[in-house]
Structure 1
Amino acid sequence: MINISKAVLVLSFLYFCQNFYGGWALKCKCDICKDTNYTCETDGYCFTSTFLKDGVVKYSYRCLDTYNLPEIIVQSNRSIQFCNDSIYGLQNNPEYTSMTSNCCNERDYCNDRKITLLPVTGPAPKYLTSLEITAIIVIPTLAICLIIGFVYFYHTSHQRRGLHHHLRHVDDSIEAPDHPILNKGVNLKRMIEMTTSGSGSGLPLLVQRSIARQIQLMEIIGQGRFGEVWKGKWRGENVAVKIFSSREERSWFREAEIYQTVMLRHDNILGFIAADNKDNGTWTQLWLITDYHEHGSLFDFLGRNTMDTGDMIRMALSIATGLAHLHMDIMGTQGKPAIAHRDLKSKNVLVKSNGTCAIGDLGLAVRHDVVTDTVDIPLNNRVGTKRYMAPEVLDETMNVEQFDSFKRADVYALGLIFWEIARRCNVGGIYDEYQLPFYDAVPPDPTIDEMRRVVCIDKQRPNIPNRWQSCDALYVMVKLMKECWYQNATARLTALRIKKTLSNFRASEKLKM
């Protein structure tokens, strides 16, 4: 009985072991296991591979035991469980140009499927490095920038040459560096008289360039939105050099163009000498060369000096005369178009050594074409000075299609300048300190809205002291400035009427003496 029991126990143990180990074996599809009905068993993984041999896609199904488990390899941007193909003799075999493999153990025969061949043909893809990507982006970008820069430089250079050509009004035949007018014995005044007969459009282009290249800059005498004003010397003569930044090329061209208008030259218009661009290789300076007046602007002069009634009338008359000449339309083949200043103020009027004035800074000026009855408004972003803007300019009701509108706005500004001059008139030792118009109503740098409120809504004008009524000269000035300030632009005096009134008063005062 004991032997029978032992035999039963041994048989039961053997049966258990067979069922235990046999039950845990993983069955896989095997394409080389013909004897076991294309099935193999393993304690590891079922293995599937797809490979390309001689251009033909083929498949392989095997068992992969635990002792021969593959490494997990992550390739580039795709994650793949890649089973070590060396056990099947596929690695480094030149016959196989590409291969995709996979392992599984979730169920029996889990490898009984075809997997897609990732690289269809050829070697594995090559991925660009960050340096190569940077090079691909940067090099074409630099090339495009260089091309754009070259085109821009060529265009602007060509445009500047065109501007200079357009500024020329005299035949090229006299534009020779050895022309007699450049002889060292000829001064600027005589040179201008020789070429323009005192009323023409300006010096020949090459003469202007020759003068510009011979000027020695001495010191800065002013600064503004456009750039700087320097005192310079040409063959011992003082000149003023207005240097525009390259951003203000349109303003430079416009002012040079206006100054060279036929028959513009006048004693009470700032004398134009030359215009040229100076390129030092790094940047371009745009030069406008004019007469130099040591007293500087009217703004500077009034801040330092007072005057008697005779000097006041002479100064006011010279400004009105210059403005009347600007506004005048001279008919004829060599006639002059009417010109409106558009930025008349004390800082844009120069005081000459004899106490008279000359109007300068014509960068915003507009001309009237009589034939077409149009106004050539300059294409630049500058506007006039807000403190001196007429009511119709501030509230944008001015008719910009009508040239007379611009002249009336100039007259309004002239009235404010007269007020500035009158404050510095010394009568019996009494005079006022210099102030800008509306100094007591708006801040130093007023906005359009602030000026509109004061001038258009409140209709304020600069204060006139009572004592001005008791002096004949100041009374005339008060009467004129009030007639320049009318809210209704059409009621304002013309520059020519103002000139005649002052001229008649001056003549009558001389008769009394």
Structure 2
Amino acid sequence: MRLSRGIVCECSGASACPDGSNNGTCTTQVNGYCFATVEEVETEAGLVELERTAGCLPPDESGFMQCKSSQVPHRHPKVIECCNESDLCNRRLQPRLPTYLSDAEPAGPEPARGPQPSLLVAAALCVALVAFLAAALLLCRRRRRAGKRPPSPPAAPRSAAEASSGSGSGLPLLVQRTVAKQIQMVESIGKGRYGEVWLARWRGERVAVKVFFTTEEASWFRETEIYQTVLMRHENVLGFIAADIKGTGSWTQMLLITDYHERGSLHDYLQAAVLDPPALLAMAYSVVSGLAHLHMDIFGTKGKPAIAHRDIKSKNILVKRNGQCAIADFGLAVRFVAERDEVDIAPNTRVGTRRYMAPEVLAETLQVTDFEAFKMADMYSLGLVLWEMCRRCAAGERAQQVEPYALPYHDAVPPDPSFDDMHAVVVARRMRPPVPSRWARAPALGALAALMAECWHHNPPVRLTALRVKKTLAKFHTDCDVKLV
């Protein structure tokens, strides 16, 4: 029976207790739930202990989480139970890990002094347990041969709207959810080297579902990991909803579920659209705002690490209904771990897009231990994206007079350039995309032309940072009274 008011729950564990919780309790919303969970955790000494956590869940979450066990218990053991019949009902909840997850060896019977029934029963139970363990081990081996399944990711907010506060934390990370069963695929809307993107419906809303090829497990795991970074959410970063895995022992689908933007990628949008100067500036400002947020290192207990994208291009930027943009595709992203002063590079065989590679990447001189080098490579790519956008801006001209959409270096390399093709143009000849003379006659185009030239400078330390570009555009907005957002 659900209550018509919020209920008080026991609250324990830092990840489960919201800010402002009092005396070890928290209060749910109307028709919310209390939960308790137990999980195996490894201590600093390398020992495995059981940890119980309790707290509050939003309304109707029990239908979208696993209240009994993990989806892949052999990889990520945990049990979750929930209740909502009375205040503090989760105090009585004592979840237990399945017996086959215990490391304890079954004790053998004591030396028999005669055929005692209790000893015979114990022996029978031991034989049954051993048989069960053997069967479970055989099943695990068969599944691994057929194809490993990565662990299900931590919980995500129910929708982009729920996480609009920007916290990026969503539900407690111990809470798992299976979303794949609620997804209704509608139609395929795009394909790439990583897999396929589908328009789908989830909980009555349109969402985008990125289905990864089985060979792209590293990209799926990395992108999921980056999206769930604390404080990752930003209006100019594609809104993350959930990640999940579905399949059997013989096939696996890795899903990434995000907000859906009907205008598609910036690459597709610019082929049909012609921008006016205010629209161009607003779009450029939104892209660099998203990149500045990624590059920013937010210090503190719940801080955000600095993130470099490593594959900035117009196809990885989506256009929202309001004309702003959102950066997507974090399968190659790297993070800077300030506590250890090191760059966290995921093991991934993928490389960036050759057409947008910075000179130091093409020359193979980028210092992978220097995080600033990755940020500066992003800035070079951003300069090329700004160039693509400026070509489609009509500043006093008629729409028919603007340059047709084109990819950077379209007139210098083949449609699918090789590494050597790009090296010869960008590194050896130090070419950059041409800037039409008409841009100098329009303040907005002239300002962006100056910025992009500093972004794609051959010497990485000379390039502008994302924050500097953002501030420059904001100042231009103030001086010219142009609305950027």
Structures share a fold, TM > 0.5?
Answer: yes
1:199 positional shift: 1.7
Residues 207 and 369 of structure 1: CA distance in aligned 2, closer, same or farther (over 3 Å): closer
Paired residue for 2:219, among 251, 259, 271?
251
Residue pair 1:192, 1:203 contacting (<8 A) in 2 also: no
- 1: CA distance, partners of 2:146 / 2:226: 21
Residue pair 1:202, 1:273 contacting (<8 A) in 2 also: no
Residue-by-residue CA offset, 1:95-145 (whole Å, 9 max, x unaligned)? xxxxxxxxxxxxxxxxxxxxxxxxxxxxxxxxxxxxxxxxxxxxxxxxxxx
Within the alignment, does 1:293 sit opposite 2:261 as a pair? yes
Within the alignment, does 1:160 sit opposite 2:149 as a pair? yes
Residues 203 and 435 of structure 1: CA distance in aligned 2, closer, same or farther (over 3 Å): farther
- 2: CA distance, partners of 1:373 / 1:206: 28
Paired residue for 2:425, among 450, 454, 471?
454
1:198 positional shift: 3.2
Map of 1:75-224 to 2, 5 A cutoff? 151=141, 153-154=143-144, 160=149, 163-164=151-152, 167-168=153-154, 188-192=159-163, 197-203=165-171, 209-224=177-192
1:312 positional shift: 0.2
Aligned positions, number: 344
Residues 262 and 150 of structure 1: CA distance in aligned 2, closer, same or farther (over 3 Å): closer
- 2: CA distance, partners of 1:217 / 1:357: 25
Paired residue for 1:433, among 404, 426, 434?
404
- 2: CA distance, partners of 1:148 / 1:169: 30
- 1: CA distance, partners of 2:356 / 2:459: 16
Paired residue for 2:290? Answer: 322
- 2: CA distance, partners of 1:169 / 1:331: 23
Within the alignment, does 1:465 sit opposite 2:455 as a pair? no
Paired residue for 1:413, among 375, 381, 389?
381
Map of 1:263-342 to 2, 5 A cutoff? 263-280=231-248, 282-342=250-310
**Larger displacement relative to structure 2 (344-353 or 207-216):** 207-216
Residues 471 and 273 of structure 1: CA distance in aligned 2, closer, same or farther (over 3 Å): same
Residue pair 2:200, 2:207 contacting (<8 A) in 1 also: yes
- 1: CA distance, partners of 2:182 / 2:482: 49
Paired residue for 1:233? Answer: 201
Residue pair 1:201, 1:259 contacting (<8 A) in 2 also: no
Partner AA of 1:336 in structure 2 = K
Residues 332 and 324 of structure 1: CA distance in aligned 2, closer, same or farther (over 3 Å): same
Partner AA of 2:312 in structure 1 = L
Residue-by-residue CA offset, 1:74-105 (whole Å, 9 max, x unaligned)? xxxxxxxxxxxxxxxxxxxxxxxxxxxxxxxx
Paired residue for 1:98? Answer: none
Paired residue for 1:508? Answer: 479
More helix by percentage: 1
- SS of residue matched to 2:422: helix
Residue-by-residue CA offset, 1:51-75 (whole Å, 9 max, x unaligned)? xxxxxxxxxxxxxxxxxxxxxxxxx
Residue-by-residue CA offset, 1:226-251 (whole Å, 9 max, x unaligned)? 11000001122110000001111111
Paired residue for 2:19? Answer: none
Within the alignment, does 1:481 sit opposite 2:467 as a pair? no
1:154 positional shift: 4.0
- 2: CA distance, partners of 1:440 / 1:148: 58
Residue pair 1:203, 1:273 contacting (<8 A) in 2 also: no
Higher relative contact order (CA 8 A, sep 6+): 2
Partner AA of 1:457 in structure 2 = A
1:508 positional shift: 1.8
1:211 positional shift: 3.3
Residue pair 1:424, 1:432 contacting (<8 A) in 2 also: yes
Residue pair 1:212, 1:274 contacting (<8 A) in 2 also: no
Residue-by-residue CA offset, 1:254-291 (whole Å, 9 max, x unaligned)? 00000000000000000000000010564110000000
Residue pair 1:199, 1:266 contacting (<8 A) in 2 also: no
- 2: CA distance, partners of 1:283 / 1:230: 19
1:208 positional shift: 6.7
Within the alignment, does 1:396 sit opposite 2:364 as a pair? yes
- 1: CA distance, partners of 2:253 / 2:354: 28
* Unaligned residue ranges in structure 1 (runs of 5+): 1-146, 171-180, 183-187
Partner AA of 2:416 in structure 1 = D
- 2: CA distance, partners of 1:288 / 1:238: 14
Partner AA of 1:151 in structure 2 = R
1:301 positional shift: 0.4
- SS of residue matched to 1:421: helix
- SS of residue matched to 2:351: coil
Residues 287 and 504 of structure 1: CA distance in aligned 2, closer, same or farther (over 3 Å): same
Residue pair 2:188, 2:196 contacting (<8 A) in 1 also: yes
Paired residue for 1:343, among 276, 290, 311?
311
Residue pair 2:267, 2:315 contacting (<8 A) in 1 also: yes
Residue pair 1:302, 1:421 contacting (<8 A) in 2 also: yes
Residue pair 1:277, 1:287 contacting (<8 A) in 2 also: yes
Paired residue for 1:128? Answer: none
1:169 positional shift: 6.5
Partner AA of 2:184 in structure 1 = Q
1:212 positional shift: 2.9
- 1: CA distance, partners of 2:340 / 2:453: 34
Larger radius of gyration: 1
Paired residue for 2:130? Answer: none
Residue pair 2:146, 2:249 contacting (<8 A) in 1 also: no
TM-score after normalising by structure 1? 0.64
- SS of residue matched to 1:411: helix
Paired residue for 1:354, among 322, 330, 334?
322
- 2: CA distance, partners of 1:511 / 1:205: 42
Residue-by-residue CA offset, 1:416-449 (whole Å, 9 max, x unaligned)? 0000000000122131100000000000100111
Paired residue for 1:107? Answer: none
TM-score after normalising by structure 2? 0.68
Percent of pairs with identical residues: 56
